[in-house]
């Protein structure tokens, strides 16, 4: 079959909501209309009663990513399969600059791993840990020629990946001038390290001390500082995994002043809270991610901010490490920190549950409209990170990345049935209304119910354009 016709569905984009047929050829959407008639070379799919959504765009995932000696549990193959089952058809993952490594080498090394494995399309940010003249020159080339238009920098983890304010400022100024953007992990790393040392000195080694040593105030402080650096650099800035009111306040203030500041939050901050750390057992290592879960009251602030565009994106920060050592042969996972919470690899899974969780809690929960759901999970991330209009919407000329979604089907989230290699989900046992039924990536059906129809290497590296679309 050379074409695909999705008939009679309710097509929902960030701005539209109508019944139509969608004709796709050669991986792209070529026609949208009522009662389209087509030849016999076209496969037809009846979408009556279903939502037809643009494939989700998750701009924060970590596949095969090594931090301080621990590597995430998902490969590019398993992670992109998990993403597709969750209704996401594009991820923007990370290439990580190694010590003494040039940024183009980090990109090349990551592409070598990702391209043969990816089941859906992907872009790459580069985690930049060493800002020097060469790195700045490389950033310019990467933006212009390689489609890497965003670079993540850490204000936390001194001695591992943290860069200082001057480095952030230099990178912001250069990248901003060339159509790119710095994304920031905003936490005051030096103060947090001090708190971690003090806790360990007092014999506090349990996972719950992860949260107690990473106060929201220090995320707020770093967010404020990051904004001031961006303001001085006259460059846009994007805050990853924003979790709390203290950080949100600075973002709102800056946006009110028309400073180009953007931020994402993640489902775990919307649905889970710090009361989960009350348990003394090692089991709660599954909630050891950074920033940690915050107060219950923070959730309402985040939902409100998503509704009123103070936050623009919901991504996952999918960064899975197994609870059980040796699961699928994986080593150096969460139990690395069984005697010292600071050694627990930070991160949690989420790529497979994002769309359904947000649909259930956001749309069914009457916290956002259906259009806003699409905006936050697909269109805005595609626009901000230079993927739009190829990705993130349903329009003539866009890639045929399409999700058939049943808004009313219920299912129960469980690690027993998910596709990620990690051995837990943050939302085990949760009953959800709203389920991904079929997924096409550039017109190729990759998910049909419980069946994976894709293949490793189908997913392509997407060179991104200038950031913006603000």
**Residues forming the site for ligand URP (CB under 6 A):** 62, 185, 241, 289-290, 317, 319, 346-347
Q: Are strands 121-127 and 88-96 parallel, antiparallel or unpaired?
A: parallel
Distance of closest approach, residue 291 Cβ to Zn ion, in angstroms: 8
Residue among 22 and 358 whose Cβ is closer to Zn ion: 358
- Dig out the tokens for 243 from the structure: 């979790």
Distance of closest approach, residue 281 Cβ to Zn ion, in angstroms: 25
Residue among 62 and 438 whose Cβ is closer to ligand URP: 62
Which span (225-233, 253-261, 314-322, 358-366) binds Zn ion, by CB under 5 A?
314-322
Provide the CA 464 distance to its chain's centre, in angstroms.
16
258 torsion bin: left (phi>0), alpha (psi -120 to 50), beta (else): left
Alpha carbon distance 294, 292 (integer Å): 6
Residue among 318 and 367 whose Cβ is closer to Zn ion: 318
Which span (98-106, 220-228, 309-317, 406-414) binds Zn ion, by CB under 5 A?
309-317
Q: Tell me if 317 contacts Zn ion by CB under 5 A.
A: yes
Distance of closest approach, residue 211 Cβ to ligand URP, in angstroms: 12
Q: How many residues bind Zn ion (CB under 5 A)?
A: 2
> Among all chains, which residue has been given the structure tokens 């859906």?
120
Residue among 85 and 154 whose Cβ is closer to Zn ion: 154
Of Zn ion, ligand URP, none, which one does residue 354 interact with (CB within 5 to 8 Å by kind)? none
Distance of closest approach, residue 157 Cβ to ligand URP, in angstroms: 8
Cβ contacts of residue 21 below 8 Å, gap of 6+?
5, 6, 7, 8, 32, 33, 34, 35, 36
Distance of closest approach, residue 59 Cβ to ligand URP, in angstroms: 12
Alpha carbon distance 449, 394 (integer Å): 21
Distance of closest approach, residue 257 Cβ to Zn ion, in angstroms: 25
Q: Where are the alpha helices (DSSP H) in 120-215?
A: 133-141, 165-177, 189-201, 208-212
Q: Is residue 441 within 8 Å of 401, Cβ to Cβ?
A: yes
Distance of closest approach, residue 162 Cβ to Zn ion, in angstroms: 11
* Residue showing the smallest CB distance to ligand URP in the complex: 346
Find the Cα–Cα–Cα–Cα dihedral 344, 347, 350, 354, rounded to 10°: 140
Of Zn ion, ligand URP, none, which one does residue 289 interact with (CB within 5 to 8 Å by kind)? ligand URP
Residue among 292 and 386 whose Cβ is closer to ligand URP: 292
> Among all chains, which residue has been given the structure tokens 């990702």?
114
Q: Tell me if 93 contacts Zn ion by CB under 5 A.
A: no
Distance of closest approach, residue 115 Cβ to ligand URP, in angstroms: 23
Q: Is residue 389 within 8 Å of 14, Cβ to Cβ?
A: no
Alpha carbon distance 82, 88 (integer Å): 9
Residue among 180 and 347 whose Cβ is closer to ligand URP: 347
Sequential DSSP letters for 345-365: PP-B--TTTHHHHHIIIIIIT
Residue among 185 and 245 whose Cβ is closer to Zn ion: 185
156-195 footprint of Zn ion as x/- string (CB under 5 A): -----------------------------x----------
Which residues partner with 125 through β-bridges?
Answer: 94
Alpha carbon distance 130, 99 (integer Å): 8
Residue among 12 and 240 whose Cβ is closer to ligand URP: 240
Alpha carbon distance 368, 117 (integer Å): 35
Residue among 13 and 316 whose Cβ is closer to ligand URP: 316
Q: Tell me if 125 contacts Zn ion by CB under 5 A.
A: no
| Collapsed DSSP state (helix, strand, coil) of residue 151 | strand
Distance of closest approach, residue 185 Cβ to ligand URP, in angstroms: 5
Single out the residue of 298, 148, 172 nearest to residue 226, CA to CA. Answer: 172
Which positions lie near Zn ion, rule CB under 5 A?
Answer: 185, 317
């Amino acid at each position: 079959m050379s074409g695909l016709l999705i008939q009679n569905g309710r097509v929902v984009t960030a701005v539209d909501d109508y019944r139509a047929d969608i004709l796709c050829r050669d991986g792209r959407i070529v026609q949208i209309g009522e009662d389209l008639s087509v030849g016999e070379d076209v496969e037809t799919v009846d979408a009556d009663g279903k939502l037809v959504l643009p494939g989700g765009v998750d701009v924060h995932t970590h596949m095969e990513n090594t931090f301080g000696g621990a590597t995430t549990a998902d490969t590019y193959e398993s992670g992109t399969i998990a993403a597709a089952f969750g209704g996401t058809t594009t991820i923007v993952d990370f290439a990580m600059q190694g010590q003494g490594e040039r940024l183009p080498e980090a990109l090349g090394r990551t592409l070598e791993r990702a391209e043969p494995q990816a089941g859906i399309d992907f872009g790459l940010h580069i985690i930049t840990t060493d800002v020097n003249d060469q790195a700045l020159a490389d950033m310019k080339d990467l933006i212009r020629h390689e489609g890497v238009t965003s670079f993540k920098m850490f204000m936390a983890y001194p001695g591992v990946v943290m860069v200082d304010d001057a480095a952030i400022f230099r990178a912001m100024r250069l990248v901003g001038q060339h159509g790119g953007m710095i994304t920031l992990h905003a936490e005051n790393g030096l103060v947090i390290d001090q708190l971690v040392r003090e806790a360990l000195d007092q014999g506090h080694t349990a996972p719950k001390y992860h949260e107690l040593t990473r106060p929201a105030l220090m995320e707020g402080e770093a967010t404020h500082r990051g904004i001031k650096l961006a303001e001085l650099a006259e460059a846009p800035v994007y805050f990853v995994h924003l979790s709390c009111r203290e950080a949100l306040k600075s973002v709102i203030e800056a946006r009110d002043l028309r400073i180009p500041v953007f931020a994402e939050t993640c489902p775990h901050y919307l649905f889970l809270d710090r009361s989960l750390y009350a348990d003394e057992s090692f089991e709660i290592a599954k909630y050891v991610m950074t920033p940690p879960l915050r107060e219950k009251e923070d959730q309402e602030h985040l939902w409100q901010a998503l509704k009123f565009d103070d936050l623009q994106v919901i991504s996952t920060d999918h960064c899975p490490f197994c609870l059980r050592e040796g699961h699928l042969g994986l080593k150096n996972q969460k139990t690395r920190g069984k005697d010292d919470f600071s050694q627990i690899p930070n991160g949690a899974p989420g790529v497979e549950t994002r769309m359904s969780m947000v649909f259930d809690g956001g749309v069914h929960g009457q916290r956002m409209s259906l259009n806003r759901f699409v905006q936050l999970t697909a269109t805005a991330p595609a626009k901000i990170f230079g993927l739009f209009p190829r990705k993130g919407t349903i329009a003539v000329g866009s890639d045929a990345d399409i999700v058939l979604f049943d808004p009313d089907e219920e299912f129960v989230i469980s690690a027993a049935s998910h596709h990620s290699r990690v051995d837990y989900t943050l939302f085990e046992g949760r009953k959800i209304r709203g389920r991904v039924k079929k997924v096409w990536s550039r017109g190729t059906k990759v998910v049909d119910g419980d069946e994976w129809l894709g293949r490793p290497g189908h997913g392509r590296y997407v060179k991104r354009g200038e950031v913006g679309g603000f």
